[in-house]
Amino acid sequence: MPAETVATNLELTSVGCYDLLSKIAVGGMGTVWKGRHRITGAIVAIKVVPPHLLSNQVFLKRFEQEYSAARELDHPNIVKALDFGREGNVPYLVMEYVEGESLGQRLDRVHHLSEKEAIDIICQVAEGLFKAHQKGLIHRDVKPDNILITKEGIAKLTDLGLVKELDTDLNLTRTGRGLGTPHYMAQEQFRNAKKADVRCDIYSLAATLYHMVTGELPFKSLSPLDAWMKKLHNELPAPRQLMPSLSDRVDWAIRRSMDSDPAKRAASCREFIEDLTGRGTRKMAAPSASGIAPVDVWYMYYKDEDDVIHTVKGSTEGIRKSLRRGLLGDGSNVKVARSKTGPFEPLRSRPEFRDLLLDTVNCSHQDTAKLASSAPMRTPAPQTRTFPSEAVPPLHSRLGDSGILASTVPECSSTTATPNIVLERSEPTPDWLRWSVLVLFASVTGVALFFVWPKIYYLRLFW
């Protein structure tokens, strides 16, 4: 930081009606102070533009834009903007004061977070970011240093200086420039930050979570250009390669939303939360009049090769077992609901099953070999497997192996029809047990005939 900036900051004791108490952070883009309103006594955070940027009109407009953007957002997981003014020719921004530390500081201190704590923090940030996206605002610089955590564990997203307004194109980025922090930035944002969209922020969320659970910066020790090339080819070590104890679901959710193809990422922050938790952000369970939690039961229907609709009843684990065995194919022909009357939704739209149906980023051959030796990875979803009627029995004749039985009477999906449900049955007898019983029976029969046959022969002679 230039010496003149430090000297000028040391001379500042107040701006507007705020007294500057102490510095919180100092950087090339400004100094953040802890301040106090002279009349109300309210403690606030005040960001002051450094002298060397006072002649930069683009930066000054971006600085004022940060206030305009934050002022529109009222959410517990976004730092509130309270005031904007000038002390002489020096602009300043007054924000909510957050007692705590940044996520970046916490990671420097503890290296990495537990899976549970990391998901709790990132879901809070995702909720705040979802609110911004609803307002048509894209953050474009989500990273640990821009996430503040209070002493009570509440996460708040800050630093909206690079925010882009979708409808009015309020951003001040020149074409071809990718503002943001390279290691957390989506590869398409490198080319042109002006075209950054919701999925760019989701990539940055996933990259931040990657750092939180592994303790390593994505594409660490690489230059921005090298990192960009790695991102283009999805050459990112899987999170479980660095942290084998990480769950399958979180590993999959991170890799999905860090895919080089934006279309394969979660479409919204809410969908990213669903990917992480395996639970829908909207309730789909049938209401319970007694107040007891609903039973884990799904109602599925699908059409067979003759366009006859069949119904299936089963638990979440039962359906997941069927998916792992490939009994449901790619799931495109199956719809599910928590109630017999619907509404029925495509199987892959439900977060409880999405991780077994959607493709994710593929690791390099070297990474895959390491993963095989360090931690068991989930078998990829059977995206290309098909079940032609002439080669494989119909779907309703195969579901029994998974503990889920289709009804024997075709049902329609009408809201007035009641499916003919067959209770789940136990697992079929293993083949090895059947053969063992057969061999034992043959042995006993042979021994019996050996001893009994001569007696039968002499009896025939006697008669």
Cβ atoms of residues 298 and 337 within 8 Å: yes
167 is catalytic: no
123-153 per-residue burial string, b: 16 or more CB within 10 A, e: under 16 = bbbbbbbbbbbeeebbbbbbbbbbbbbeeee
How far, in Å, CA of 242 to CA of 250, rounded? Answer: 13
Amino acid letter, residue 343: P
Q: Which residue has the tokens 């100094």?
A: 31
Return the structure tokens found at 187. 């590869």
Amino acid letter, residue 283: K
Q: Backbone phi, then psi, for 65, in 5-degree steps? A: -65, -35
Is the C-alpha dihedral spanning 347, 351, 353, 357 positive or negative? Answer: positive
In the set 141, 159, 275, 330, the catalytic residue is 141
In sequence order, the β-bridge partners of residue 48 are 31, 92
CA-only gyration radius of the chain, Å:
31
Return the structure tokens found at 423. 């209770």
Long-range contacts of 452-455 (CB under 8 A, 24+ apart): none
How far, in Å, CA of 390 to CA of 388, rounded? Answer: 6
In sequence order, the β-bridge partners of residue 22 are 34
Active centre residues (catalytic): 141
